Amino acid sequence: MTSRFVYASIVAAALLASVMAVPAYAQTSVSQTKPILKDSLGRGLDEGNAESIVILSTTIENNTSNAVPFIALMEVRDWEGSTVYIQFQLGELPSRGESELGISWTPAIAGQYELRTFLISSFVDPVEILTPVQQNIITIN
């Protein structure tokens, strides 16, 4: 694991913690669906399999007439509430645009997991929280 990845993971984890601590977030006209599992062909999955790649997917929508730069954070927590995977994706959502985001994950062991995702404006102060945390419980066999 590179030091850059470790740093990004620490920053992302700190942001996730701060989002849960802040009762209100900046209300923007960006919306996001709860995260779901998909296979490598983009088909929705009810469950995944340990040691097999799945895609953590969410759809975001911009309801404004301005493009919105964003960082999408996706986190997976195990049944004990520990973060077992965290990644982020940078992008810019065009005005009135919609985009599906997907990040691959290979679960190591079977169990129930909580998928969590949200959007922020950047990693630089001031950070604007663009969407509330969206959550979904999934099963890995």
As a whole number, mean pLDDT of residues 28-47 equals 93
What is the value of pTM for the model shown?
0.78
Q: What is the reported pLDDT for 74?
A: 98
More confident residue, 21 or 84: 84
pLDDT for residue 21: 44
Nearest to 124 by CA among 4, 5, 11: 11
pLDDT(17) > 80: no
CA distance 141 to 139: 6
Bridge partner list, 91? 70
The pLDDT of residue 24: 43
Domain that holds residue 12: 3-140
47-48 and 98-105 strand pairing: unpaired
Of residues 53, 37, 54, 35, the one with CA closest to residue 45: 37
pLDDT tops 60 at residue 7: no
Number of domains, the chain: 1
Average pLDDT value for residue range 3-28: 51
Q: Please give the full DSSP string across 64-110, using - where no structure is assigned.
A: SSS-EEEEEEEEEE-TTS-EEEEEEEEEEEPTT-EEEEEEEE--SS-
**Percent of the chain clearing pLDDT 90 (strictly above):** 77
Cβ-proximal residues to 141 (8 Å cutoff; 6+ apart), any chain: 47, 48, 49, 50, 110
What CATH number does residue 50 fall under?
2.60.40.10
Other Cβ atoms closer than 10 A to 112: 11
Residues 32-37, mean pLDDT to the nearest whole number? 97
